[in-house]
Amino acid sequence: MAEILEFKPNPFNGAVVDSSELPNDPNVFEARLAASMEQWSADGYLTIWLNIPKAKSALIPKAIDRGFDFHHTGDDYILLTHRIVEGSQIPPFATHYIGIGGVVLTPEKELLLVREKYGVGG
């Protein structure tokens, strides 16, 4: 069996593939992707996030053949996603950012600070 692709889990039980470690050869990629998908399914991951750099665009058809969908693209990459578990949530790509702010002071002049539980990431 081929070795699995390098990845990191995200906070939502998804596998985020390390794009810097993708093989160049589409056939090697296909074998490693198949092994990875089997392993991640057995490990209980819900989704896969696959960022393919423009320089490795020959890998895209292999991922599509394995059930990946287009999520979004930038000037030099394409992000593909796959639901390992049907119905798993994959948010749509953000087209806007909305922020809100507020200040809370106690009678003792203490400032309430709030931190996001989850940062921005794949």
Q: What is the pTM of this model?
A: 0.78
Which pLDDT value is given to residue 119?
A: 63
Q: What is the pLDDT along the chain (122 residues), one digit of tens a residue?
A: 789 999 999 999 999 999 999 999 999 999 999 999 999 999 999 999 999 999 999 999 999 999 999 999 999 999 999 999 999 999 888 777 777 778 899 999 999 887 777 665 54
Closest CA to 68 of 107, 11, 7, 17: 17
* Domains parsed from the chain with CATH numbers: 7-83 (3.40.630.30)
Q: Which amino acid is at 85?
A: V
Cβ atoms of 59 and 26 within 8 Å: the answer is yes
